[in-house]
Structures are given as structure tokens and as C-alpha cells.
Amino acid sequence: MLRSSKLLFLAVALVACGGAIDDRTPESTVASLASALERHDVDTAYRLMSRRYREQVSIDEFRAMFSDTAEIDHTATRLRDRDGPAEEEASVTYGAHEQLLLRREGDTWRVVTDVVDWYSQRTPRQAVRSFVRAIEARRWDVLLRLLPEVDREAMTEDRLREMLAGEGEEALDHLATGMRDALDADIEEHGDHATLAYGERYRVELVREGDVWCVADPD
């Protein structure tokens, strides 16, 4: 009986100190986070953040973000009012830089990443990724296809290869590295134009021609 009383006291103490957490499913984790935000329970909310997040944001920095209580309350309400079950995803890194995205469908996992259309131009992000891949693979034919029509008219594969030989090729590799590091960054779209900012001052301009996106001006 004494042992049971001690366990009960310990459980109550843990809830009082840090708040109860149910992180067994995505839905229960979101509910626990919403509850912590409603209570303005910084410690519990911080414990629910990933290890990577906690490595980048200290508890003191996290606590400072709670100064805007109105926004915290608004976020908690929106989390409570979410629709439907959580969509579970996972990513696997392969090769040097590539990532394969998977999504749970019922009791199985399915691949989301297009592993067949290697040089896709269906979206601005895919066009940028294809541009980087083409540089790394030295696929001059693909690089040519990724250019807008007005630039392709005055260019051939051989001429493109000659222009980028030597120091030009080194600059191209530097460009690819910067663009690859920004592949997950936000891309601004305005009609048939899109812009990806990367590094401290560089931008990639893209244009849509028909059903595909082309890299018009990579800094």
C-alpha cells in the first residue's frame, strides 16, 4: 500500500511540475502541445519539441517567444480545431544529397518522391532541383532544356559546354552547391514567374513556359 501511495504521489508531482504528455501518436502529441500552450506551460511545450529543434533553440529563447500570449492562445485554439487525422511522413537520405519522402497510407507506407522523372520541370522547386542534378551530372542536354526558349535558340550543347569549361565549370559547381542548400527554402510564385532566394544575396529566377518551369536567371 505504501509503495502504491508513493507511485501516486510521484505521478501527481510530475504532472504538477511539467504537465502531462501523451506523445504516443501524432494526434495525441498535437493535443498535448495545444494543452501546454493553453496553460502557457513553457517547459512541457519545449519537451514536446524535437531533439533537433532543442539543439537549435534554447529553453530561454523558447520562453522568450511566449511573451506574445495572444498569439500563443490563438495557436492553441487552431491546434484544437484541426480537421482529420495527422498525415504521417518520413524521409530517407540516399546518395550524397538526395532525400526520398514517404507517406503512411493506412497500414502501409508509400513513396511520394518521383524517382522516375529525374529532371522534372512541373514545379519551380522541381526545376531548381533538376538544374542542380544536371550540373552535378554534367548533363549539358538537360541544362539546355531547362533554359527558357529564348536562350535555347542561341545555344547548343557544345557551345554551353565550351562556355562553362575551366573556371566557368568551377563557378557552376559553386552555384549548384548554393542552390542545393536552399532546395527546402520558400519559393515566391507570381503567375508565370517564381523566385528562390539563397545565400545572403543570391536569387534564382524561374519562368513558366507552357506546362514546364525554366531556370531563367540563376545568380
Reported as a single tens digit per residue, the pLDDT across 26-79 is 888 888 999 999 999 999 999 999 888 899 889 999 998 888 888 889 888 988
**Mean pLDDT, residues 124-150:** 91
Rounded Cα–Cα distance for residues 76 and 73 (Å): 5
Report whether 139 contacts 147 (CB < 8 A): no
**Cell digits of residue 161:** 559546354
How does the average pLDDT of the chain come out, rounded?
Answer: 82
Rounded Cα–Cα distance for residues 31 and 110 (Å): 26
- Which range, 2-6, 7-11, 92-96, has the best average confidence (pLDDT)? 92-96
**Mean pLDDT, residues 149-174:** 84
Tell me what pLDDT residue 4 has.
Answer: 43
Statement: residue 10 has pLDDT above 60: no
* pLDDT greater at residue 7 or residue 52: 52
**Mean pLDDT, residues 85-112:** 81
Statement: residue 9 has pLDDT above 60: no
First to last CA, the chain: 73
Rounded Cα–Cα distance for residues 211 and 103 (Å): 26
* pLDDT greater at residue 78 or residue 84: 78
Statement: residue 81 has pLDDT above 50: yes
Domain ranges of the chain: 2-80, 87-114, 124-218
Tell me what pLDDT residue 95 has.
Answer: 66
Predicted TM-score (pTM) of this structure: 0.56
